[in-house]
Amino acid sequence: MSIASTILKRLFLPPHIFRVIRLQRNRKKHDRSADDAQLKLYHDILPGDYLHYGYFENPDIHPLDMSFRMIYEAQDNYGKKLTSLITDFENPVFDVGCGMGGLLGQMNSMNLKAIGLTPDVNQVKHIRAKYPNEVIHSKFEEFDSTGYEKHFGTFITSESLQYLKLDKALPLIQKVLKEGGKWIACDYFKTGVKGEKSGHNWEMFEQKLKDNGFKITFQEDITKHILPTIGYAHHWATKIGVPLKNYGIGKLKVKAPGIYYALETVLPEIDAKIEKNIQTVDPEVFAANKRYILMVIERA
């Protein structure tokens, strides 16, 4: 059976039409946080157990001079910057949004007792297979804190704060953090109106902290040190991804004109989607509209 006839069968035979409609209607019911394919892809590509942008000591490095190994080393440096702010070595550390467990492994090497939390089933399976740490499978806002009241000396959100619903999360952080405990947070915040929508607004976040009895006791803007990773992704997207896409469409037009004709009307929509995604990894757009902040937060 040819490719064209296979596609037409899927599009026009009644059983397949009903399945296409059902799958499309149900697409929004999937909870991305429970099984995030995009984060799994990042982990499959990069060699370490980190899912953040990393920290480059040399922020001026050009994408053509970079490698995956350098990104991994930058991610390791990022983890070290966070753990260097830990001052309580006696009480447990709570890594909320622990990803694939890279930071947990780093804290294990420091003989810290670290507990992870993630809503993603793939991440939970990976951590339980590789690390000895306790890992809680839950969204933080839905976390049952029974038995964990005033339990943690250090609370960490490493590029996971952006996903937390602050009205629910901040009181819960107060509940599980010991008196005198520290919340180490590292994430990006919106300051402009362009670019992707993810991340909390910085001014709003500061006000929410104040309203919930928190204060920032240490703050470092590391935006320029995370931009090389974004620039690297942008280079791959514009110099390799887009040309490959154009090549594939050109080949399709010549080798399978019927399929090309069937898809022709949606190609501009696909191009617009690609362009929007590329903009999210444009370092200039990111730097103009966001700040990446490393900070220590304590009770006011």
Q: How confident is the model at residue 29 (pLDDT cuts 50, 70, 90)?
A: low
Q: How confident is the model at residue 181 (pLDDT cuts 50, 70, 90)?
A: very high
| CATH number (domain holding residue 212) | 3.40.50.150
Residue 157 lies in a domain: yes
C-alpha–C-alpha distance, residues 112 and 226, integer Å: 26
Residue 98 lies in a domain: yes
Is the confidence at residue 119, as pLDDT, over 70? yes
Which pLDDT does position 36 carry in this prediction? 45
Q: What is the mean pLDDT of residues 261-265?
A: 86
Residue 122 lies in a domain: yes
Which pLDDT does position 15 carry in this prediction? 56
Q: How confident is the model at residue 277 (pLDDT cuts 50, 70, 90)?
A: confident
Residue 46 lies in a domain: no
Which pLDDT does position 9 carry in this prediction? 54
Question: Could you tell me the residue range of the domain that residue 171 belongs to?
Answer: 63-225+286-299
Is the confidence at residue 300, as pLDDT, over 60? yes
Total domain count, the chain: 1
Residue 280 lies in a domain: no
Residue 176 lies in a domain: yes
Q: How confident is the model at residue 14 (pLDDT cuts 50, 70, 90)?
A: low
